[in-house]
Structure 1
Amino acid sequence: MNRRPLVVAAATVGVLATAAFALPNLPPNPVTDAIDHKVFKEKGKRFATAGDAPTRAAAPFALPSWIPRDATDVRIRVRTGGDDRLIRFDLGKTPLDGPQCAAGTPRRQGAPDLHARWWPRRSLRAEVHAECRDFHQYQVAVRGKRVYAWTDGTPSPPARG
């Protein structure tokens, strides 16, 4: 009996399984970025300040308008074929309160199925204190000066006038 095809198949499965566990834990580099984009359909970007991010609303890494321009260490992860987003940033002197962020009990929305090393492992659902709106509705949790926001692509309702 020829066992060579079985050995090749087992080795291939082993390599793919190892890659699936190791890739999310590797630091960003051209190889992991390409795999994230092609396999997981995700892309990420990091900006020193919110002012460094693109301002065109249609740009893939454009930030919502409710994020203060003096926010620092801004990280964003997007689904390349959809509207899911994870955003993390540190507040500067400008607080996170304004007409676009309503305190209270936000409507529940699904958490995007995105993977980022900088996103907390434990759920932020219990810490959500605001719902911020731009083109999409964002669930927002604040831990000290660090802000976590996410959307599953739920559109914001039209403004009432």
Structure 2
Amino acid sequence: MKRPLVIAVATVGVLATAAFVLPELPPNAATDAVKAQLFKEKEKSFSSAADAPRDSGRSFALPAWVPQDATHVKVKIRTNGEGRLIRFTLGSAGFRMPPCDGRTQPVGAPALRARWWPSDARHDARPVCGDAVQYQVVVRGKRVYAWTNGEASPEAGKAATAVPSPGPAAP
């Protein structure tokens, strides 16, 4: 009778430890597989936006408003489609964000967390539409952070008109 109880307690201990430790481990094949199964999250890096998929049907596809010459691109997704974090460094083309002409959805803090994501990004965010989902975007120097929790864009299906971003354009 003691043996099943010991096994059950040990299993609960291992799972509880994994829940706290796994999200903080650097990405690798083993932790990525466990995170995908346990937390329903995946993360991928691209050296440039040109290397990332643009087809909206693909998992790590970038929105059309991400400049093609952006570098150091990181994308973290919730595999059920309800969240996405994107970080990139601006290239020489600068950055223009499609505005939200319609009524935007109220958006909370990002549903996902990542070591590379600033905890205070929500305070400087501006809504960006023109994609199927509404993003919140923060421009800090040459670094751009964007997230969505899956809120539908009021501009979905419309052609977006680019306007200058609030941050400085790259030289």
| Same-fold status (TM-score > 0.5) | yes
Deviations 1:27-71 (A, max 9, x none): 211111111111111111110000101122211111000011111
Q: Is the 8 Å Cα contact of residues 86 and 146 (structure 2) preserved in structure 1? A: yes
Please give the alpha-carbon distance, in whole angstroms, between the structure 2 residues aligned to 1:70 and 1:142: 16
Deviations 1:96-155 (A, max 9, x none): 224x146xxx753133422322112x2322111342432211000122211110011122
Pick from 133, 136, 157: which aligns with 2:133? 136
**Residue in 2 that maps onto 1:63:** 62
Count of residue correspondences: 155
RMSD: 2.2
**Residue in 1 that maps onto 2:95:** 96
Q: Is the 8 Å Cα contact of residues 111 and 151 (structure 1) preserved in structure 2? A: no
What SS class does the counterpart of residue 148 from structure 1 fall into?
A: strand
- Which amino acid counterpart does residue 152 of structure 1 have in structure 2? N
Q: Which runs of 4+ in 1 moved over 4 A?
A: none
What SS class does the counterpart of residue 96 from structure 2 fall into?
A: coil
Segment of structure 1 superposing worse, 65-74 or 129-138: 129-138
What SS class does the counterpart of residue 45 from structure 1 fall into?
A: strand
**Residue in 1 that maps onto 2:46:** 47
TM-score where L is the length of structure 1: 0.84
Unaligned residue ranges in structure 2 (runs of 5+)? 160-171
TM-score where L is the length of structure 2: 0.80
